[in-house]
Amino acid sequence: MTRTGRAWHLVLWILEIAAIVFVALLLLLPIQDYARREHMAWYLHPSEENLRAFQAKQHEEFLVRLGLATPIAIAALLLALRLRSKSRKS
């Protein structure tokens, strides 16, 4: 592998690691203030309706985060497969 090839390989590995960390953060960290209005309504006036609205908003937040993380995770997987095949050739 040439010097330029090694540099690109290193850059791709760094991108791979960054994508994995970014996906993990997207899936683990909540979106700030996404369900705050529903949470405050349930906190101030605890009722079954407010609780259902709060839980629905939390579920919607999870779907938004999953929708953002999925394409990045697929790209990271494809990049990992590509890097693995290049590693075996050299």
90 residues of the chain, pLDDT tens digit each: 577 778 888 888 899 999 999 999 988 888 878 889 999 999 999 999 999 999 999 999 999 999 999 999 999 999 888 887 766 665
- What letters, b where the CB count within 10 A reaches 16 and e where it falls short, cover 12-30? eeeebeebbeebeebeeee
C-alpha 31/C-alpha 43 separation (Å) is 19
- What letters, b where the CB count within 10 A reaches 16 and e where it falls short, cover 58-70? eeeeeeebeeebe
Write down the pTM of the prediction: 0.71
Domains identified in the chain, total number? 1
Domain span at 71: 3-89
pLDDT in the model for residue 72: 93
